Amino acid sequence: MGGPSPQQLAEYRRCAILHVDMDMFYVGVELLNAPQYRGRPVIVAGSGPRSVVLSASYEARQYGVNSAMPVSQARARCPSAVVLEPHREAYTHYSRIVMDIFRSVTDRVEQLSVDEAFVDVSGAIRRSGPPVEIARTLRRVIHERTGLTASVGVAENKTVAKIASAYCKPDGLLVVTPEHTLAFLAQLPVGKLWGVGKRTSEILQSAGLSTVGDIAATPLPRLHALVGTASGTHLKQLATGHDPRPVTPAREEKSIGAERTFQRDVADSAALKRVLLGLAHDTAVRLRRHGLRAGRVGLKLRYADFSTITRSRTLSHPVTAAHDLYTEACALLDGLGPRAQAVRLVGIRAEKLTGADHAFQLSLDGREEEWGAAEEAMDRVHHRFGPGIVRPAKLMETTMPIRPARDILDGT
């Protein structure tokens, strides 16, 4: 028997974008080693008193437990929940397996996070069959190789595919054909559109626009008046099923950073700077590992009342050394002046990333190259003898009550 006809190929390729989203990924991975808790409310979070929820099972979500919620609040809402410690190395392991499964079908895979990706299968149809069959195969193989489940949306573009995968959770498959796209979108609340946050949703609903279909039927000038020209045009396109963005396999890393949450709030600037020094070294190591330099440094502080501020500073030349990141972060911290509250979280971020071999203007004294060379030597020592063998003297005796650093690599 032959393959699909030219007409069938053309039809299949009109609806060949998959959005694959693992179901409660962190919880699912933990339950592989703790199957006795399946069907019960489960929360994945650290054991510290200041921990927040990393992920919650669907049973726990029924009680209003959500990601990023303080564990104390989650326990109050769901006293029967089982709290499991996170194992980040396991998440990385299973994420790689899942992404490799996608790439065994096509190289057009755009990974969004450890547990979701867009997959353009338009070039794999002759070999692997129609997109819906490819989606079924991916779900089956993922479950066979990992024991985890995934939900898949299949559509003509990324926006509709992502909405479809969320719509069919958990462990579901939903195909939205081009002919049914407008009808599918029209019934959804405005908050389901990608990029519509709480504030925009409130503005639209106060104007009587409660569904995506309402937005699609609203004249463009009125949308411009409500949410601005750019946002109004963007919403109109999404609401009418238009999203020309291709699936992009290589996602540019826009920032790299790390942050720490304190077990007890900290007000002392010297203590904060000591932690910033460690975070700067964590971030610089990752910059060098990825072959990148930072053109801007960002500082993040979260206060005792959970209010959060960020500040950033553009550098005169891109850097890769922790010394430079730390110096700029301290300047940003000092620039904030006296603090009315103690700090519960501090973070540092390297932004405006460029390749390490990218041409740039050195400073007159060349000190950044000296620091970079010294830290590269530290990298080699750590690679051979293990992390922490060589480090700044200020970090040799750290008694600060802190949780482990959380690395941040952002490509959004």
Q: Which residues are catalytic?
A: 116
For residue 23, say whether it is annotated as part of any ligand binding site: no
Instruction: Return the HEC string of the chain.
Output: CCCCCHHHHHHHHCCCEEEEEECCHHHHHHHHHCHHHCCCCEEEECCCCCCEEEEECHHHHCCCCCCCCEHHHHHHHCCCCEEECCCHHHHHHHHHHHHHHHHCCCCCEEEEECCEEEEECCCCHHHHCCHHHHHHHHHHHHHHHHCCCEEEEEECCHHHHHHHHHHCCCCCEEECCHHHHHHHHHCCEHHHCCCCCHHHHHHHHHCCCCEHHHHHHCCHHHHHHHHCHHHHHHHHHHHCCCCCCCCCCCCCCCEEEEEEEEEEEECCHHHHHHHHHHHHHHHHHHHHHCCEEEEEEEEEEEECCCCEEEEEEEEEEEECCHHHHHHHHHHHHHHCCCCCCCEEEEEEEEEEEEECCCCCCCCCCCHHHHHHHHHHHHHHHHHHHCCCCCCCHHHCCCCCCECCCEEEEECC
- The annotated binding site for Mg(2+) is made up of 21, 115
Going by the annotation, the residues of the binding site are 21, 115
